[in-house]
Chain A
Amino acid sequence: MNFLALKISTFFLSVFLLVWIFSLIRRRLLMEEYSFLWVCIAGVFLVLSFFHPIMDKVAHSLGIEYGPSALFLFFNVVTLFILIHVSIQLSDYKSKKRILAQEIALLQDKVEELSRKMNVHESADL
């Protein structure tokens, strides 16, 4: 097995991920609070690219024969948690958006009512 190729590709992948995330934050496309998990993942990738025996050890202690399988499992679980986290955020935004829209609708009604009253006063003054 060519571990050097694996090391190099993982290294470049994690560096690419880190650079991308930092540039997204710099360009205000990604808020820092949401980048934390991604930075962690890129970090884990980076560490594993240098010390892949860690991966094998972890895999064996979990009873998984093949190191990279453990990696797949790990990232699948992490992705699942990130997706749930995003769903929670989405629900939160949706409910806040609903409250705002309802407030706008109710306020618009009050504005209409007030301007109607003002018009009545104005025409009474004339």
Chain B
Amino acid sequence: MKTILIIVPAYQEELNILRVIEDIQTHLPEADILVVNDGSIDQTSLLARNAGVKVIDHPYNMGIGAAVQTGFKYASERNYSGALQIDGDYQHPALEGPRLLQILAEEKADLVIGSRFIEQTGYQGSWLRRTGNRLFQWVNALAVGQNIVDNTSGFRAYSHRAIRLLSQTYLGEFPEPESISYLKSQGCKIIEVPVRMRNRPGGKSSITPLRSVYYMVRVLTSIISFNQQSRR
């Protein structure tokens, strides 16, 4: 049994999934790959299966939160010692994966976040997204007591303990900012590391300008109202 599981949540990513898998196989040849197909009706699942990686298909679209949680449940059942989340949209460069995992092990951290904003790494993002991030940063810093610059990055490494906790706790439809406050409330160690991300080459992002306002309100509501308690 390999000890690291790469969790790839994917929804309608037929344009990207193959290069994501190839990218991971090139830079992280030791790890197992799990694609969680979140109810895509395109070729995402088929392409990934044909590429020879493990695929779990959700029967219908449940959102990124449920997709990563399915990944954590899988990893927890099979006792992986760590996991790395790489989104199916080819934004996260697998090249940076080994460094996140190395820091996870060396620093005995529970969560290592690949951050776009911690230093100048070339990533820009929309004005709205940056403003939203600043807002999360501020609220999470208040709620959590640790300043996290990039709360919405899904490029992350998780320890065995974080996997176990997150397999039992559903973090809503926007798991990235919420998992920070949740894991912190459980006494987990969180480290942020600068990474260089790509801009999306194909497919469309789930976050449009109008949606991001809606997204911000919802995430803030859940961060404020739910910090400590665990949900299934």
Please report A residues at the B interface, Cβ cutoff 8 Å. Answer: 95, 98-99, 101-102, 104-106, 108-109
Chain A nearest Cβ from B28, distance in angstroms: 21
The residues of A that contact B54 with a CB separation of less than 8 Å are: 109
Query: Can you name the residue of chain A whose Cβ is closest to the Cβ of B74?
Result: A106
Chain A nearest Cβ from B41, distance in angstroms: 16
| B 59-81 contacts with A by CB, 8 A | 59-60, 62, 66, 69-70, 73-74, 77
In contact, A104 and B59 (Cβ under 8 angstroms): yes
The residues of A that contact B231 with a CB separation of less than 8 Å are: 95
A-B contacts, 18 of them at CB < 8 A, read A95-B170, A98-B62, A98-B66, A99-B232, A101-B59, A101-B60, A101-B66, A102-B58, A102-B62, A102-B66, A102-B73, A104-B59, A105-B56, A105-B59, A105-B70, A106-B56, A106-B70, A106-B74
The residues of A that contact B73 with a CB separation of less than 8 Å are: 102, 106
The residues of B that contact A106 with a CB separation of less than 8 Å are: 56, 70, 73-74, 77
The residues of B that contact A101 with a CB separation of less than 8 Å are: 58-60, 62, 66
The residues of B that contact A95 with a CB separation of less than 8 Å are: 170, 231-232
Main secondary structure of the interface of B (DSSP, over half): mixed
Chain B nearest Cβ from A93, distance in angstroms: 14
The residues of B that contact A99 with a CB separation of less than 8 Å are: 232
Interface centre among A95, A101, A108 (most CB of B within 10 A): A101
A106 to B55, CA, bound (A): 10
A102 to B74, CA, bound (A): 10
Main secondary structure of the interface of A (DSSP, over half): helix
In contact, B69 and A102 (Cβ under 8 angstroms): yes
Q: Is B57 an interface residue (CB 8 A)?
A: yes
A102 to B77, CA, bound (A): 13
A121 to B66, CA, bound (A): 35
The residues of A that contact B58 with a CB separation of less than 8 Å are: 101-102, 105
A105 to B231, CA, bound (A): 20
Chain A nearest Cβ from B33, distance in angstroms: 14
The residues of A that contact B60 with a CB separation of less than 8 Å are: 101
Chain A nearest Cβ from B175, distance in angstroms: 13
* Chain B positions 99 through 123: 1 when the CB is less than 8 Å from some CB of chain A, otherwise 0: 0000000000000000000000000
The residues of A that contact B57 with a CB separation of less than 8 Å are: 105, 108
Partner of A98, one of B56, B74, B170: B170
Query: Can you name the residue of chain A whose Cβ is closest to the Cβ of B167?
Result: A102
The residues of A that contact B77 with a CB separation of less than 8 Å are: 106
The residues of B that contact A109 with a CB separation of less than 8 Å are: 54, 56, 74
A105 to B34, CA, bound (A): 13
Chain A nearest Cβ from B199, distance in angstroms: 31
List the 5 shortest-distance A-B pairs measured between CB atoms, nearest first: A102-B70, A105-B56, A109-B56, A105-B58, A101-B59
Query: Can you name the residue of chain A whose Cβ is closest to the Cβ of B70?
Result: A102
A106 to B54, CA, bound (A): 11
Give 18 new A-B contacts, CB below 8 A, not counting A101-B59, A106-B74.
Answer: A98-B66, A98-B170, A99-B232, A101-B60, A102-B58, A102-B62, A102-B66, A102-B69, A102-B70, A102-B73, A105-B56, A105-B59, A106-B70, A106-B77, A108-B56, A108-B57, A109-B56, A109-B74
